[in-house]
């Protein structure tokens, strides 16, 4: 019988995955697959999840949000594990899983994964760390890092909104220099996002993005008049195309370099990223994914 390494974060979202473990085992056993669980814990090294992974394993199943998936992908790369992965979206932020069309229901998501074929997809890389959905910097990008874990798990997205409101007094322009073969920017901005996926905070911003084109989609919200920012935010909330908007720069590239001397951090799918300067690039076909639409 082939095996599936099941890595789950019991703290993700509303901790609902713990009540669905039997369903996950049952669905896989019907397919003659044995679930080998690994519980993510603050006191354990995630690399330990891969010590026994060999040719007897069919794929890696991950239950958690975008940050959990990032951590698993990074450990897979460190341990040279070249297996497909499937994602059960049970985190507070599941932007990437929603982008690829994964059902919210655990049973339906398992069935979709089991009835699919692995497809190679692109992965983002910021310095030496991989990410699947979005890397960002600027105002509000450290909100998730400053949000208490217990509050996040209890209140979900509302916790982010509360923390975001607290950060409003810090609304100021930030000097940044971005260099790539496709576009350069040297000036003041409020926010910068580099997408491998399409959405951030449930907002579909990088509507042109694809995980199979070998490119990253870059959005820079420039420092501009408040009226222009207000109009831009309305477009974002409505899900309208952003190109042509005053105060916004949108371009595609496979690699870019960012320099910044401001007191800000980088964020990778809700987790703290490396300090500046950073190089962000797209690694084409770097991961095999199950359940993609």
- Whether 121 maps to a domain, the answer reads no
Give mean pLDDT, residues 127-147: 80
Say whether both 177 and 104 belong to one domain.
no
Q: Which domain holds residue 157?
A: 129-284
Q: How much is the pLDDT for 234?
A: 63
Percent of the chain with pLDDT over 70: 81
Say whether both 90 and 134 belong to one domain.
no
Q: Where are the alpha helices (DSSP H) in 115-156?
A: 143-146, 149-155
- Whether 292 maps to a domain, the answer reads no
Say whether both 280 and 136 belong to one domain.
yes
User: Which of these three, 82, 116, 150, is where a domain ends?
Assistant: 116
**CA angle, 194 then 209 then 173, to 5°:** 30
Residue 177 has pLDDT above 70, yes or no: yes
Say whether both 105 and 170 belong to one domain.
no
User: Which of these three, 65, 90, 116, is where a domain ends?
Assistant: 116
Say whether both 100 and 210 belong to one domain.
no
Q: How much is the pLDDT for 225?
A: 57
Give mean pLDDT, residues 197-216: 90
Give mean pLDDT, residues 74-95: 93
Q: How much is the pLDDT for 210?
A: 96
- Whether 9 maps to a domain, the answer reads yes
- Whether 22 maps to a domain, the answer reads yes
Say whether both 97 and 138 belong to one domain.
no
Reading phi first (left if > 0) and then psi (alpha if -120 to 50, else beta), residue 58 is in alpha
User: Which of these three, 60, 85, 116, is where a domain ends?
Assistant: 116
Q: How much is the pLDDT for 243?
A: 64
Task: Give the number of other Cβ atoms within 10 Å of residue 203's Cβ.
Answer: 14
Q: How much is the pLDDT for 11?
A: 80
Higher-confidence residue of 228 and 292: namely: 292
Q: How much is the pLDDT for 163?
A: 45
Higher-confidence residue of 223 and 69: namely: 69
Residue 275 has pLDDT above 80, yes or no: yes
Q: Which residues contact 30 (CB under 8 A, 6 or more apart)?
A: none
Residue 217 has pLDDT above 80, yes or no: yes
pLDDT interval class at 158 (50, 70, 90): very low
**CATH code of 229's domain:** 2.60.200.40
pLDDT interval class at 240 (50, 70, 90): low
pTM reported for the whole predicted model: 0.87
Number of domains in the chain: 2
- In b/e form, how buried is each residue of 160-199, taking b as 16+ CB within 10 angstroms? beebbeeeeeeeeebebebebeeeebeeebbbbbbbbbbb
Percent of the chain with pLDDT over 90: 63
Residue 119 has pLDDT above 50, yes or no: yes
**CATH code of 29's domain:** 3.40.50.10330
Higher-confidence residue of 177 and 241: namely: 177
- Whether 197 maps to a domain, the answer reads yes
Say whether both 147 and 94 belong to one domain.
no
- Whether 124 maps to a domain, the answer reads no
Give mean pLDDT, residues 180-193: 94
Say whether both 84 and 164 belong to one domain.
no
Contact 91, 62 (CB under 8 A): no
Q: How much is the pLDDT for 164?
A: 47
Contact 3, 34 (CB under 8 A): yes
pLDDT in tens, 10-62: 887 666 788 899 999 999 999 999 999 999 988 889 999 999 999 999 999 99
Please give the Cα distance from 217 to 210 (Å, whole number). Answer: 9
Q: What is the DSSP letter of 261?
A: -
Task: Report the chain's mean pLDDT, rounded to a whole number.
Answer: 86
Give mean pLDDT, residues 129-143: 84
Give mean pLDDT, residues 107-130: 97
Say whether both 151 and 237 belong to one domain.
yes
Say whether both 53 and 176 belong to one domain.
no
Q: Which two tokens stand for residue 154?
A: 């209890």
Say whether both 180 and 265 belong to one domain.
yes
Q: How much is the pLDDT for 153?
A: 47
- Whether 219 maps to a domain, the answer reads yes
Say whether both 182 and 277 belong to one domain.
yes
Q: Among 14-23, 52-61, 176-185, 211-220, where is mean pLDDT lowest?
A: 14-23
Pairing type for strands 2-8 and 57-64 reads: parallel
- Whether 275 maps to a domain, the answer reads yes
């Amino acid at each position: 019988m082939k095996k599936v390494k099941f890595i789950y974060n019991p703290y993700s979202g509303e901790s609902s995955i713990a009540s669905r473990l039997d369903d996950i085992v049952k669905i896989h056993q019907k397919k003659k697959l044995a679930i080998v669980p690994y519980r993510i814990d603050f006191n354990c090294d995630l690399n330990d999840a891969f010590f026994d992974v060999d040719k007897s394993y069919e794929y890696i199943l991950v239950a958690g949000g975008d940050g959990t998936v990032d951590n698993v992908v990074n450990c897979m790369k460190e341990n040279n594990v070249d297996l497909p992965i499937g994602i059960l979206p049970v985190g507070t932020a599941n932007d990437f899983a929603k982008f690829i069309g994964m059902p919210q229901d655990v049973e339906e998501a398992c069935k979709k994964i089991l009835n699919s074929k692995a497809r190679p997809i692109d992965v983002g890389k910021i310095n030496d760390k991989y990410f699947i959905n979005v890397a960002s910097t600027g105002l509000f990008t450290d909100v998730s890092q400053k949000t208490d874990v217990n509050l996040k798990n209890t209140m979900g997205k509302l916790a982010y909104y509360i923390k975001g409101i607290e950060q409003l007094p810090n609304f100021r322009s930030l000097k940044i220099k971005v260099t790539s073969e496709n576009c350069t920017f040297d000036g003041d901005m409020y926010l910068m996002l580099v997408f491998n996926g399409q959405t951030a905070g449930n907002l579909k911003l990088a509507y042109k993005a694809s995980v199979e084109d070998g490119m990253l989609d870059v959005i820079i919200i420039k420092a501009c008049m408040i009226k222009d920012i207000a109009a831009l935010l309305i477009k974002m909330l409505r899900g309208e195309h952003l190109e042509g908007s005053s105060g916004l720069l949108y371009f595609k590239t496979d690699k870019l370099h960012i320099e910044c001397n401001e007191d800000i951090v980088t964020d990778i799918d809700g987790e703290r990223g490396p300090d500046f300067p950073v190089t962000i690039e797209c690694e084409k076909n770097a991961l095999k994914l199950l359940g993609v639409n």
